[in-house]
Amino acid sequence: MTSFRFRFRDARVWRYMVSSIEKIIEDGVFVVNDEGLSLRALDTSHVVMIDLFYPKDSFDEWEVAEEATFGVSFKEFSKILRRAQKNDELVIEVKDTFLDVIFSEPSLGERVFRMPQISLTYEKLPEPKIEFTVRAKIFSTTFRDVIRDLEAVGETLVIRAPEEADKLIMEAKGDVEQVEIELPLGSSLIELQVDSPDKSAYSIDYFSQMRAAAQAADTVSLSYAEYAPIKVDMEYTGGGRLTFYVSPKEEE
Amino acid sequence: MPIKIPSELCVRCKGYKRLCGLPRCPILERFQSQVNVLSRINGREVQGATPPSALVGEHGYPKVNIYFMIPPGERGSDARYHDDPQGWISRREPLSKIIELRSSMVSAILNSPVNDPWSLYEKEISLAALSLKPVDSEAILRKAPLPTLKFDGITKPVGPSSPAEKIKIYDNPKLHRKIEKIMWDDVKAEEAIRTLYLSGLDVYEIQRAMSLGVLGTIRRRRLVPTRWAITAVDEILSKFMKGFIRRERWIDDIEVRYGEYIGNRYVIVLMPGPGNMEWVEIWQPRGLWTRGSSKPVIWRVFEDNLGNLSAIDGGFSAAKMAVLESLFKRRRSADVLIIREILPTYYAPVGNWHIRETVKDIMKKDPVKVMDLSQVKDIIRKHIDIDLSVLSRKSLLLRGVRQTRLSDYEK
C-alpha cells in the first residue's frame, strides 16, 4: 500500500469545494501524481461532471513518490472538512486504508480526523468535447448573487449573449414570476467572447449547488454553446481549478 | 358580511395551515356539522377490539392527545375493517362507507408529554396499537362522547371522543417480530424505518410505530403527531428509494397510466429522466376547497432529482412514495408527472391513504406507451377535464423540457 502526504495553506477552500461536490456526487477517486491532484467524476444521473485539478506547486508540502489514488465518500469527507476554521492549514495523509484529515493552526496545534478510504474502481473519464461559442468570465461574488436571484424564481436558467458581445443575459421563469439579469461587459463581466449569439438552458439546481465552491473562488468562467453542455470553471488562488460540466435542458 | 377566502388559499391549506387567519377552518366546521355520526354507546364504558387504531394529535405540542379507538361491541375482522386502507380500496368502498366506519369508533383520549412514550408502553397501549390483529380492550370514559367527527387531509377521520379515565388491554397484542426487535435497538428512526420497510412491513404499520415513539435512539424517543409521522415515513422511504434508483438505467419509453377512486382521478406519466418529480393537483370548482370558485384551482409541487422540494405536501409525499416503490422494484429511473384531479364528489377529506393506495394500484397496471408528449396530452385530455394549455403552462415536465445527459454529447 502506498502512502503519501500533502499540505495546503487554506483548509477552508477545500471545505467550500467539497461541500459543493458532496451535493452532486456521492463518492469519487482522487488521483495524485507528478503533476498534482485531480478528481474527475460523473453524477449518477449523468447530467453533471466534476473535474478538479490542483497543480503540485500550489501545495506547501507534496510528498508523493508515485502515482496513487484515494477514494472518499464525499458526504463523510465534507462532514469533516466542515470543521475547518479560519487560519487552519489542511494536511491530508493517506496510509493503507486510512485517510487522515489534519487541520493545523500554529497556536492551536493539530486536529487529526481519521476516515476510512472507500475502495472504488478508478477509470479515467474522457473530458466532454464541446465547441463552445460563448465564453465569459465573471467575479465569483457576481456568480453567486445571480444564481441566488434566479433560483428565487424558477427551475430553469436560460443564458444568452447578443451579437454585439457587450453583455451576457441570464434569465429564469417561474409559474408566474420571471427574472432577467443583464451583466454588462466592464462592470460585473470581466471578459466576453461571442462567436455566435447562442442561447441555452440548464437546470438551476446544479448551479445552486455550485454556490459554495464559488465562495472560495476568485473568478468563474462560463463557456457554452447552443444546446450543448455548459462548462463552469472556478479558478482558485494558487492555480487550482474546479470545473463543472452541466448537460442542457432541451425543449421538445 | 362574511369575508371571501380565495380558493387558491384553501387548496394550499386544506383546512390545516390556517392561511385565511381564522382560528378554525370554516369549511371543515360547516362540513363537520353536516355529517351524521353513528354512536352505539350509552354511558361511559366502551368495549370492543381496537383494529388497532390510534392517533397522536398535534394540538398542544409538546403535550399531546393520544386517541385510542375502539369500535363498540365489534371484534375480529369486523373490528379490523375500521382501520384498513388496503381493504377499503380493494373493495372500492365509497366515501360514505369510510366515514361510517370511522365515525362508529369511539376514541378514548389520553394526554401525555411527547418525550414520555414509555408510560404508554407500560400500559400496553402502544403495543396494542401496533398489533397485527385486533386487540380486545375496554375504555372507561370520563363522560359520554359527543357525536362528532374530526377531519384532516392527512390522517383518517376520528369519531366521537372523550377523555379516558382508564384504558384496559385484555388480549395479548401480537407484534411483527421485526418491530418487537427494533423497539430495543438503539438506532436512528430513519434507519429503523428503512429496515422495517425492507422486511416487508406495510407503511401504515411503520407510521404507527413512528408515531407512538417506539423507533429511534432510545434516549431520544418521542411521540410524534400522526400527521407528521405519516409524511415523515413517506419522505424517508422516498429519499431512500430515490437514492437507489438514481444509479439505475432510465426507462425506455414514455409510460402513461390512469386510475380513479372516490372522486380522485390520476394520470401518472413516467418518462426517461434522472428522477424529477412533479405533482399537479386540479381542484374542480364547487368542490370541498373550491366552493366559491368558478374555475379549477391548480396547485403544483416540484421536486428535482437531488431532492429539493418546492413545498411540503402530504398528498404528494404519499403519491411519490407509491410511484418510487414501483420504480424501485423495477430498478429503473424516470421523471415522474402525477396529475390528480379532484371532483366535487370528493366531499370529505378522509386522509392521504387513499392517494397512496390509488397510486399504488395504478402503478400495477400495464401502461400505455407513447412516443412523445403530444400523445401524452391526448390521453390526459381523455381522462381529465382541464384546458391543456393551462396545464402545460403550469407543468414543467409537460412543457417537454427534457434534461439531457453528458453522454448524449460524446461523439
Closest by alpha carbon to A136, among A180, A188, A193?
A193
Give the gap in angstroms from C-alpha B377 to the nearest C-alpha of chain A: 13
Interchain contact, A46 vs B275, CB within 8 Å: no
Give the gap in angstroms from C-alpha A87 to the nearest C-alpha of chain B: 33
Q: Looking at chain B, which residue has its C-alpha nearest residue A245?
A: B406
pLDDT of residue A192: 93
Average pLDDT over residues B270-275: 90
pLDDT of residue A1: 56
pLDDT of residue B269: 96
Q: pLDDT tens digits for B372-388? A: 899 999 999 999 999 98
pLDDT of residue B128: 94
B173 prior amide bond cis, ω within 30: no
Q: If residue A17 lies in a helix (H) or strand (E), which one and from where to where? A: helix A11-24
Q: Which amino acid is at B17?
A: K
Q: Looking at chain B, which residue has its C-alpha nearest residue A176?
A: B394
Measured between alpha carbons, how far is A21 from A41 in angstroms, rounded to an integer?
10
User: Domain limits of chain B?
Assistant: 37-169, 177-245, 254-410
Architecture per CATH, domain A134-246, reads as: Box (3.70)
**Residue B159 scores a pLDDT above 90:** no
pLDDT of residue B40: 63
- With contacts defined as CB-CB under 8 Å, which chain B residues touch A49? 406
C-alpha cell at B178: 421485526
pLDDT of residue B360: 96
**Residue B1 scores a pLDDT above 50:** no
Least confident residue range of A8-17, B149-158, B180-189, B315-324: B149-158
pLDDT of residue B37: 62
Interchain contact, A23 vs B333, CB within 8 Å: no
- With contacts defined as CB-CB under 8 Å, which chain A residues touch B241? none
Prediction ipTM score: 0.79
Cα–Cα–Cα angle for B237, B239, B240, rounded to 5 degrees: 65
| N-term to C-term CA, chain B | 69
Which A residues in the span 148-207 are in contact with B, Cβ-Cβ below 8 Å? 155-156, 175, 201, 203, 205
C-alpha cell at B48: 370492543
Interchain contact, B247 vs A248, CB within 8 Å: no
- Establish, for the pair of chains A and B, how many residue pairs have beta carbons separated by less than 8 Å: 74
pLDDT of residue B204: 94
Measured between alpha carbons, how far is A229 from A226 in angstroms, rounded to an integer?
8
Average pLDDT over residues B209-223: 93
Whole-prediction pTM: 0.79
Query: How far does Cα B84 stand from its chain's mean position?
Result: 13
Average pLDDT over residues B153-166: 87
Domain A4-116 has CATH 3.90.1150.10: no
Q: Which residue numbers in chain A have pLDDT < 50?
A: none
pLDDT of residue B2: 56
- With contacts defined as CB-CB under 8 Å, which chain A residues touch B372? 252
Measured between alpha carbons, how far is A239 from B233 in angstroms, rounded to an integer?
46
Average pLDDT over residues B377-401: 88
Q: Chain A within 8 Å of B306 (Cβ-Cβ)?
A: yes
**Residue B278 scores a pLDDT above 60:** yes
Interchain contact, A46 vs B410, CB within 8 Å: no
Helix (H, G, I), strand (E, B) or coil at A14: helix
Question: What is the share, in percent, of chain B residues with pLDDT greater than 70?
Answer: 96
Interchain contact, A156 vs B305, CB within 8 Å: no
User: Which one of A23, A128, A155 has the shortest CB-CB distance to B406?
Assistant: A128
**Residue B35 scores a pLDDT above 70:** no
pLDDT of residue B144: 84
**Residue B59 scores a pLDDT above 80:** yes
Average pLDDT over residues B307-313: 85
Architecture per CATH, domain B254-410, reads as: 2-Layer Sandwich (3.30)
Q: Chain A within 8 Å of B407 (Cβ-Cβ)?
A: yes
Task: With beta carbons less than 8 A apart as the criterion, state whether A252 and B372 touch.
Answer: yes
Please give the order of strands across the beta sheet that includes A178-184: A178-184, A167-173, A156-160, A199-203, A249-251, B401-403
**Residue B285 scores a pLDDT above 60:** yes
Interchain contact, A45 vs B399, CB within 8 Å: no
Q: Chain B within 8 Å of A73 (Cβ-Cβ)?
A: no
Task: With beta carbons less than 8 A apart as the criterion, state whether B102 and B149 touch.
Answer: yes
pLDDT of residue A45: 80
Q: Looking at chain A, which residue has its C-alpha nearest residue B392?
A: A175
Average pLDDT over residues B111-123: 91
Interchain contact, A250 vs B402, CB within 8 Å: yes
Interchain contact, A247 vs B399, CB within 8 Å: no
Q: Chain A within 8 Å of B307 (Cβ-Cβ)?
A: no
Kindly tell me the sign of the dihedral angle through the C-alpha atoms of A80, A81, A86, A91. Answer: positive
Which residues, listed in sequence order, are joined to residue B168 by a DSSP beta bridge?
B138
- With contacts defined as CB-CB under 8 Å, which chain A residues touch B305? 45, 47
Closest by alpha carbon to B115, among B230, B208, B213?
B213
